[in-house]
Amino acid sequence: MLGLGLLFCGASASPAAAEPGDLDPSFSTDGRVAALGGDGFVARAVAVQPDGKIVVAGYSCAPAEAADGTCRRSGASSFRMTRYTPDGGLDTDFGGSGVVTTAVGTTRSQAFAILLQPGGRIVLAGVARDGGGRDGFALVRYDASGSVDRSFGEQGSSIVPVGNGFAGIADVTSTGGDGLVAAGVASDAAGNTRFALARYRADGTLDGSFGQGGTVLGGPAPASSALGVTVAPNGDAIAAGLSGAASEPASARFGFFRTRGDGAADETFGPGGSQVVAAGSGSSFANAVVGLQDGRAVAAGSAMQGERQVMAFVRMTPDGRLDASFDGDGSSLVAVGDGALAADAIRDAEGRLIAFGQTASGGQDWRFALARLGTDGMLDRSFGTGGVAITSFAGTTSARATAGAQTPDGRLVAAGIACVGGSGAQCAGGSPRLALARYA
């Protein structure tokens, strides 16, 4: 994933007593893990293996010049992942210590997405700088033990320049087997950021039958950025993100881009395969997209409703229309606290949508926020408190869930960033650490 009632859970007496949205007391001591020691870890993705082990991916902290613990958005960072056992302990058999750090390319590399593959293999995806100083789509594959899989790409990794400048992966998904599609951002010939997609074969090389030599630039013009991707049952790729220029955040809207299996824009979805949707009363954007079995897709992100930031969800039909069966008009807004956003979303076995993100209220800084919506787009009030669960972490000044997943037995896992001695999105004045929670 180049990318957002008050409840403090954890009072249940036993796992059997935990209600949906309660912290799972069989995980760690109270359902939560906050890894506050060591150097910084910016957690951006999470996946649960078939054996229930939890893999969290992101990147190591690149300290700011002020040496106050703040992480820079660029700098000498590296891909990083860690694995936890089903009971919440660090899995020290993984990589020899439970934590694996991999420098990809030169100067900096940052992982934003994770994909589990058959045989226990793990792919991390993000951005890395090549030997020519250019940032490109970056992948690294590991075996089940956490060692780099040297049979993938070039000795285990791949850095692909896309477009005409900076490029990076925000999300990745499987095409079946060991193939994958990655989505993110790249610059076109005019210097505008655009949705960028790349399809890879099982060996980590680009699939030349997709787009132009394996990559596609498109999406809403003149500027847009993909933050999530899914593959429809018929092989179409559906990406969602932000339509608008980063320099003009007030103009941001939900952006969608759909391609055929060969990478050609799906004109039946919209002109150039694209659609732009306004959610709320101001700016809005998608951070994630979830595909449905019938080809529909629902995107999760954020919108402004008046002066308040809210979680926002938009569901689209395969032909590019808003799905009116979703909360009446195709979009749903969920207000939590004084402000909230959805950073990730998944669909459970019953078809319900679970969003993972953050909220703030009462002058407090960010805390984990989860929301569950029914198939009709309405809050499922049997989950948490009124459909929402909010979680804080002791010893931290703030915590933001950046990713979510589900265990084989249906429990929810949220991973994110906890600030120690700092605040805000970048933990200004402090340092980011891993925060992890499991819910019934």
What tens digit of pLDDT does each residue of 358-400 get?
A: 999 876 789 999 999 999 999 999 999 999 999 999 999 999 9
Q: For the ranges 87-91, 330-334, 425-429, which has the lowest average pLDDT?
A: 425-429
First to last CA, the chain: 25
User: How much is the average pLDDT of 79-99?
Assistant: 97
Name the residue ranges covered by the structural domains of the chain: 1-94+336-440
User: How much is the average pLDDT of 137-159?
Assistant: 98
pLDDT grade for 407, boundaries at 50, 70 and 90: very high
User: How much is the average pLDDT of 185-195?
Assistant: 95
> Could you tell me the two tokens for 422?
């700092």
Question: Which amino acid does the sequence have at 2?
Answer: L
pLDDT grade for 12, boundaries at 50, 70 and 90: very low
Q: Is the pLDDT of residue 13 over 60?
A: no
CA distance 98 to 84: 8
Contact, 272 vs 221, CB < 8 A?
A: yes
Q: Pairing between strand 193-200 and 179-187?
A: antiparallel
Q: Is the pLDDT of residue 64 over 80?
A: no
Q: Pairing between strand 308-316 and 331-334?
A: antiparallel
User: How much is the average pLDDT of 118-134?
Assistant: 95
Question: Which amino acid does the sequence have at 425?
Answer: A
CA distance 195 to 192: 10
- Using a 10 angstrom Cβ sphere, with 0-12 exposed, 13-18 middle and 19 or more buried, the burial of residue 319 is exposed
Q: Is the pLDDT of residue 27 over 90?
A: yes
Q: Is the pLDDT of residue 71 over 90?
A: no
What tens digit of pLDDT does each residue of 275-290 get?
A: 999 999 999 999 999 9
What mean pLDDT value characterizes the chain?
Answer: 92
pLDDT at residue 211 in the model = 98
Q: What is the pTM of this model?
A: 0.93
User: How much is the average pLDDT of 41-48?
Assistant: 96
Three state DSSP letters for the chain: CCCCCCCCCCCCCCHHHCCCCCECCCCCCCCEEEECCCCCEEEEEEEECCCCCEEEEEEECCECCCCCCCECCCCCCCEEEEEECCCCCECCCCCCCCEEEECCCEEEEEEEEEEECHHHCEEEEEEEECCCCCEEEEEEEECCCCCECCCCCECCEEEECCCCCCEEEEEEEEEECCEEEEEEEEECCCCCEEEEEEEECCCCCECCCCCECCEEEECCCCCEEEEEEEECCCCCEEEEEEECCCCCHHHCEEEEEEECCCCCECCCCCHHHEEEECCCCCCEEEEEEEECCCCCEEEEEEEEECCEEEEEEEEECCCCCECCCCCCCCEEEECCCCEEEEEEEEECCCCCEEEEEEEECCCCCCEEEEEEECCCCCECCCCCECCEEEECCCCCCEEEEEEEEECCCCCEEEEEEEEECCECCCCECCEEEEEEEEEC
